[in-house]
Amino acid sequence: MTEALFRDDSYLQTCQARVTGVNERGGILLDRSIFFATGGGQPGDTGMIERPDGSSIAIGATVFGESKEQIVHVPAAEGPLPDVGETIVATIDWHRRYRHMRMHTALHIICAAMRTKITGAQIGEEESRIDLNMQDPPDRDAVLAAIMEAVNADHPVTTEWITDAQLDANPDLIKSMSVSPPRGSGLVRLVRIGANFDLQPCGGTHVRTTSEIGQVTITKIEKKGRLNRRIRIRLDD
């Protein structure tokens, strides 16, 4: 099991950790990590692991292992692997991750502003997309105005935890038709934007306040099936 430090503080860029194993495919397991593992449409982190002897291992991908309690750090290339028990320093590619956090939070805003369910999402460093369950094409200017109103409102983004039973009693909290809530431990993490602008189960990483998203551009609105509209966005900086 890996202690997922990014769940409580998504702004950690580096941490010390102990190597607890190396799996059969060369993936590195740590007792704690700031590396987000691919899930919910958000790519896993890339970065670096520095060994006590001064050498370093570039990490090209981060994924879940046998369960969602285990985070696997996949080296970008073949090479020497750390020893079990070794204390290393892990550092993420912060420029890339911070863009993922801004994009991810922007997608929450679009979903909340459009007041509809999500049928898919893919976050990227350069461009992200969200698929919404909508019959009529949304007006581009109206969508952008709604996004920027929420960005400029500087809403705080906070997390809270509820039990699986509480989520079962409030199924309307689930906004995604494609990604199931991060269950497993008996508790589900909710992400709240503003007092009540958006509230939904999510295991991803987000910015602390919506103003950090900055200016957004809608690059495309596409029809993807009779009941599906895809909105593509970019960050202006």
Angle at 171 between CA 102 and CA 40, to 5 degrees: 35
- Which residue's CB is nearer to Zn ion, number 64 or number 74? 64
- Which residue's CB is nearer to Zn ion, number 19 or number 99? 99
- Which residue's CB is nearer to Zn ion, number 92 or number 130? 130
In angstroms, what is the minimal distance from the CB of 202 to Zn ion? 3
- Binding to Zn ion, residues 159-218 (CB under 5 A): 191, 202, 204
Query: Would you count residue 57 as binding Zn ion (CB under 5 A)?
Result: no
Q: Measured at CB, which residue is nearest to Zn ion? A: 202
In terms of Cβ atoms closer than 10 Å to its own Cβ (0-12, 13-18, 19+), residue 114 is: buried
In angstroms, what is the minimal distance from the CB of 40 to Zn ion? 7
Decide: 190 and 160 in contact? Cβ < 8 Å: yes
- Which residue's CB is nearer to Zn ion, number 16 or number 170? 170
In angstroms, what is the minimal distance from the CB of 105 to Zn ion? 7
In angstroms, what is the minimal distance from the CB of 36 to Zn ion? 11
Question: Which residues here bind Zn ion, judged by CB under 5 A?
Answer: 191, 202, 204
